[in-house]
Structure 1
């Protein structure tokens, strides 16, 4: 395929293909969220909350690491080959759960799912950012995340229907194998390598000949500690997944113990997910117009407020309102954190920078189930929710003071890697 330049319109067919792929990636996650947790109790008689959510920690830990590895590899070897490789790991995930003899098999299966999601979703979002260039970055990420989380919703609904009619195994995982086949066809025969678009963007920047992909250790240090803006963004990503773990695993348990009906719990969680998913296309485009900082900071404050409100709910109506506000907060924050990283990173090491951010972000999935499980056991369910609200509030304050606008047309300061090129350049090339 001939590279026609940067922008959604110039690359509409490839943008749509990658959006469909993202939808399919999300649908696998949706099936897992609905079909796996009931196996703990109904399939393997697991009663411990911490043990039951151990599959989520296993998934999050591996996905976080694969985000880092895949981002770095994509800067050297391209996006499409890693996308295809990632889909191959969906097969052992499905087969291990189908034939699982103990809960440990399910935990092991989620290690493979972590690889699958870390490779495929990282490459899909990076490909879209490559295609659109700097002007439409927020819109591209918003569409990517909307497609993915609409896929999560569709997969969750489909899994509910399949499980109700055919049982917990093997039907949901047969569906995943079907998604794998469809995705392999799209990724192999229709999707194109997008690294050439990133190279084109890099060639349009001043001083491109002086920019080199940094070593992974330098890039991780830069993103995590040296650049305070990016450190705040990485922290916000971690807290974001910490809060999401609360919403999908611990808040439903708290509400059940508070005698809230399953219908109202399902309605609250669904509204949270759908407002989050559908809202991201709008909030990503909004951030292209007004900048990233306002949506990110305001959205994080909304998340803190809504979490605290859920813990203190007094009626079903307040629960629904709080869940909806939380979904809006997530929609404001989630895609624009990725866009902020894309703004800062040079095209030659964008994949690696996104990988470091996603390592921190999805690390929240690895840590949260164990931490929240321990807090719930020691202090009670409500305490774990209030602690989540406090963490989100502190993250918002940190972002307000440390993060400066990164949207290219509104940025007034040089990026830290431009002020201190030695932080990202190989030692022999630093001036």
Structure 2
């Protein structure tokens, strides 16, 4: 695959910086209109995910009679595997064909998802819907991340990722809350999923009609890329093959590989929260409305908090914000395992959201710090492959432990793994924030 370089765009002829199309300029303020549109699009992407957070785990037992936790979590496994694989492809496809076509295709794939969930006569239909949802999320969310990194350059990368993830996960939380109340008032189907139909239609319209291609901005940054003065990235060249990008991001490069494992463990916990928290709360006798409130609180704090934490990572650096966030998540999960009522669970959900807010945009910013602009989209794809693979790993792990020892034991296990992941970051990751960009 031909990468984006200082002398050309993937799939085009030679292009010097002076001949870059439409004279792109890097910066958040300079690209405010397109950046804002991309924030709105990512909020719609998050809404597509949020329509499932409260309702689908409850449908597993009430509509389809699934009693075993492992069986009930198969929809998350399907989603996680599909999204993880598509994340990897999204980065490569965005380099080859451009960002906008990938974004539009992702929305086209999202269109039938709410309809399948409304009409599903069997659990197999729910799994099929989540395969499509995973593919769609992999294409749309990955591409909005890549496009925002393209636009802003290095100086405000943390803030850009904070705004992107805040929009997405804020919408996850608000939609989870809304669907919980819709389900309580009108039943589990079809009312909650009508929101998804509207989100998909608006997202496709915006992406097809008003979003512009950003690949030329990545070419501009590649043309003006400045290596670190400490020589830390001298071994990371502009012409890495896709296989080399995979190896560096997964294993070889300390910061990239530490970020990849932290991302996977973070979403391992999110898979647990998505699949088993509603079951745990329902078992304690909470109403569907209160379950929806708890399901919404965690991603809402996570989403809104990222505006602050993303900007802080631009000032303070990435490493210790990530490590501390992983440890805070572990503490919050332990509190959930220990609690038995709404208020302690609400506090724990807020702490879990705060810890995740410290980690989520900062990991993406760290990937952007280290990866050369010519292969950054592919590095983001590899990172998100590992990160969203955590959904599948978490669902399988949590389901097996919950069936054998109970839901609380599964929460304890994930809490322990999360704390260990923070230790790995503290030991292996170096500070990725370029001193010249502070």
Change (3 A) 1:266 1:179: closer
The reply on whether 1:93 has 2:113 as its aligned counterpart is yes
Question: What does residue 293 of structure 1 align with?
Answer: 319
Change (3 A) 1:94 1:185: same
State the shift of 1:217 in Å.
2.2
Change (3 A) 1:206 1:305: closer
Q: Deviations over 1:372-395 (max 9, x none)?
A: 111112222222111111101111
Change (3 A) 1:27 1:130: same
From 192, 199, 221, the equivalent of 1:201 is 221
Question: What does residue 7 of structure 2 align with?
Answer: none
Question: What does residue 18 of structure 1 align with?
Answer: 38
The reply on whether 1:186 has 2:206 as its aligned counterpart is yes
TM-score (norm 1): 0.89
State the shift of 1:316 in Å.
5.0
Change (3 A) 1:186 1:259: closer
Change (3 A) 1:213 1:44: farther
SS in 2 for 1:347: coil
State the shift of 1:153 in Å.
2.1
Question: What does residue 70 of structure 1 align with?
Answer: 90
Q: Which has the higher helix share?
A: 1
Per mean C-alpha deviation after superposition, the further-off stretch among 164-173 and 51-60 is 164-173
Q: Is the 8 A contact 1:238 1:360 kept in 2?
A: yes
Q: Is the 8 A contact 1:4 1:10 kept in 2?
A: no
The reply on whether 1:304 has 2:324 as its aligned counterpart is no
Change (3 A) 1:270 1:353: same
What's the RMSD between the two structures over aligned residues? 2.3
Mapping of residues 98-117 of structure 1, within 5 Å: 98-117=118-137
Q: Is the 8 A contact 1:211 1:348 kept in 2?
A: no
Q: Deviations over 1:298-352 (max 9, x none)?
A: 1111111111122123765443332222211111011101110011111111110
Question: What does residue 277 of structure 1 align with?
Answer: 303
CA–CA separation in structure 2 for the residues paired with 1:112 and 1:357: 21
CA–CA separation in structure 1 for the residues paired with 2:268 and 2:204: 31
Mapping of residues 15-414 of structure 1, within 5 Å: 15-206=35-226, 211-258=237-284, 265-313=291-339, 317-409=343-435
CA–CA separation in structure 1 for the residues paired with 2:278 and 2:289: 11
SS in 2 for 1:181: helix
Change (3 A) 1:287 1:381: same
User: Is there any run of 5+ residues in structure 2 with no aligned partner, and where?
Assistant: 1-20, 228-233
Change (3 A) 1:255 1:97: closer
State the shift of 1:358 in Å.
0.4
CA–CA separation in structure 2 for the residues paired with 1:161 and 1:323: 19
Residues paired across the two proteins, number: 411
Change (3 A) 1:6 1:274: same
Change (3 A) 1:254 1:163: closer
SS in 2 for 1:348: coil
CA–CA separation in structure 1 for the residues paired with 2:52 and 2:290: 22
CA–CA separation in structure 2 for the residues paired with 1:264 and 1:154: 14
TM-score (norm 2): 0.88
State the shift of 1:161 in Å.
4.4
Change (3 A) 1:116 1:314: closer
State the shift of 1:109 in Å.
1.4
Change (3 A) 1:35 1:51: same
CA–CA separation in structure 1 for the residues paired with 2:365 and 2:267: 17
CA–CA separation in structure 2 for the residues paired with 1:59 and 1:30: 13
